[in-house]
């Protein structure tokens, strides 16, 4: 079926879905295939739950008047999203990077929403399926779109840019995330820079942190709008940054006191300020939007529980974000400090070395009690009075049942698969 004809049918529907558990009445269901499932087999279930049309690529599941047969469902979803994007002509900001993507996205959305009808990626729907779903969620009333792009191998950002065709782009940083898939740090830089390649080729605009030498180098020949604390010729000059523990930013004559913890969140805020300034939003409105943003979903949340104060940053972790969180935690002046860390995933051959580097950060911090959970931390186990190692969460939970944490300032951080937010049940 031609994409133009499919688009007419899409416009008849209330929304697009790829999950039969979340189908709404009058929606268009795309029957995707994965390693362990084939949603073509859910065609009848999707109809019973109210789907108006089901896009399939297996002719054995055709139902007259309900199914739309295509060569490949995923490719069709991506093509439909791109066609919709072209039709709407909505200005789109693409966002990628190793750390801080989602927090930055939410801050940018908070600022832009103060003046514009803004739609952004929901949650972490930032891959080859999530990005098309985000685009198809835009409508005629959407004045600015924000599309988060995640990647764990090269050419992925390139594909997402071809689908999205962004007018603007921002890369939070180049850090040690998905080392295994990218093939090392240089692979990460090359892979994330595919966003810059798109902006350069299509004469679009990059938002740039001039205090990051690598970012500055990569965007010399791209139209850009910049921020900096140290460079005078930046478009937005950040006067000062504080983090004890909440981040405070001063720009122009405006003080912003956020609900975000750690100096590593400063540039996430700075990016939102800068993009707000580019779109002519008043300083006072930017300030209010950022100050009203409360982090959720285990990202840099400050929680008080019983007698403890807890930094819950357990949504994800990689060597760069882990190092930043620990370094910031060390600087905070509090009595009785405790670190609880979980293994970092997708590091390939570098995994044991990177976990050892984290241990070395904490080795000399004898006033901080550190609990290190997971097999890669455990394989680097050392005898120490303030460093404690556990092979898995079960072992650590048994410790917590017998040893109450109280009157402590606690940092909790680990990869998503470690689900360290479970620690809260035992505090």
Dihedral sign computed on CA atoms, order 33, 41, 85, 290: negative
How far apart CA 59 and CA 55 sit, in angstroms, is: 11
Which of 60-69, 132-141, 243-252, 384-393 bottoms out in mean pLDDT, i.e. has the lowest?
Answer: 243-252
Locate 345 and state its tokens: 């995933």
Instruction: Say what the pLDDT of residue 311 is.
Output: 92
pLDDT band at 179 (very low <50, low <70, confident <90, very high): low
Mean of the per-residue pLDDT values of the chain? 93
**Count H helices, E strands: the chain?**
16, 19
Tell me if residue 80 falls in helix, strand or coil: helix
Instruction: Say what the pLDDT of residue 178 is.
Output: 61
On the question of pLDDT at 181 being above 70, the answer is no
Please compute the mean of the pLDDT values over residues 243-272 and round it to a whole number.
93
Tell how far CA 319 is from the center of its chain. 16
On the question of pLDDT at 126 being above 90, the answer is yes
Domains with residue ranges and CATH for the chain: 3-71 (3.40.1390.10), 89-291 (3.40.1190.10), 301-426 (3.90.190.20)
For residue range 210-241, list pLDDT tens digits in order: 999 999 999 999 999 999 999 989 999 999 99
Specify the DSSP class assigned to residue 367: T
The position carrying tokens 């290190």 is 372
Instruction: Say what the pLDDT of residue 302 is.
Output: 87
Instruction: Say what the pLDDT of residue 346 is.
Output: 87
C-alpha closest to that of 422 among 392, 378, 389, 383: 392
Tell me if residue 194 falls in helix, strand or coil: helix
How far apart CA 173 and CA 74 sit, in angstroms, is: 30
């Amino acid at each position: 079926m031609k994409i133009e004809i499919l688009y007419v049918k899409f416009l008849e529907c209330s929304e697009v879905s790829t999950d039969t558990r979340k189908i709404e009445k009058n929606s268009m269901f795309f029957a995707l295939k994965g390693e362990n499932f084939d949603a073509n087999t859910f065609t009848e279930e999707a109809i019973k739950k109210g789907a108006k049309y089901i896009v399939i690529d297996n002719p054995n599941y055709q139902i007259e008047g309900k199914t739309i047969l295509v060569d490949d469902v995923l490719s069709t979803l991506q093509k439909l999203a791109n066609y919709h994007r072209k039709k709407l002509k909505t200005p789109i900001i693409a966002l990628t990077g190793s750390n801080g993507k989602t927090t930055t996205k939410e801050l940018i959305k908070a600022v832009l929403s103060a003046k514009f009808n803004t739609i952004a990626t929901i949650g972490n729907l930032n891959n080859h399926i999530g990005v098309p779903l985000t685009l198809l969620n835009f409508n005629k009333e959407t004045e600015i779109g924000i599309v988060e792009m995640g990647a764990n191998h090269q050419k992925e950002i390139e594909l997402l840019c071809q689908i999205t065709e962004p007018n603007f782009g921002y890369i939070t940083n180049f850090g040690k995330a998905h080392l295994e898939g990218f093939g090392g740090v240089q692979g990460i830089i090359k892979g994330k820079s595919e966003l810059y390649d798109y902006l350069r080729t299509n004469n679009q605009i990059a938002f740039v942190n001039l205090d990051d030498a690598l970012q500055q180098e990569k965007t010399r020949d791209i139209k850009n709008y910049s921020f900096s604390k140290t460079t005078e010729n930046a478009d937005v000059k950040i006067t000062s940054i504080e983090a004890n523990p909440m981040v405070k930013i001063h720009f122009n004559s405006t003080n912003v006191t956020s609900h975000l913890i750690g100096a590593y969140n400063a540039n996430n805020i700075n990016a939102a300020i800068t993009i707000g300034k580019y779109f002519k939003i008043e300083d006072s409105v930017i300030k209010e939007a950022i100050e009203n943003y409360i982090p959720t979903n285990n990202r840099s949340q400050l929680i008080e529980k019983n007698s403890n104060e807890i930094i819950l940053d357990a949504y994800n972790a990689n060597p760069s974000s882990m190092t930043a969180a620990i370094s910031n935690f060390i600087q905070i002046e509090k009595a009785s400090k405790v670190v609880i860390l979980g293994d970092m995933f997708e590091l390939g051959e570098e995994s044991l070395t990177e976990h050892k580097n984290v241990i070395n950060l904490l080795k000399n911090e004898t006033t901080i009690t550190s609990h290190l959970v997971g097999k890669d931390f455990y394989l680097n186990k050392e005898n120490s009075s303030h460093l404690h190692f556990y092979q898995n969460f079960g072992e650590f939970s048994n410790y917590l049942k017998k040893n109450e944490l109280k009157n402590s300032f606690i940092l909790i951080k680990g990869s998503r698969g470690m689900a360290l937010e479970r620690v809260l049940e035992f505090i």
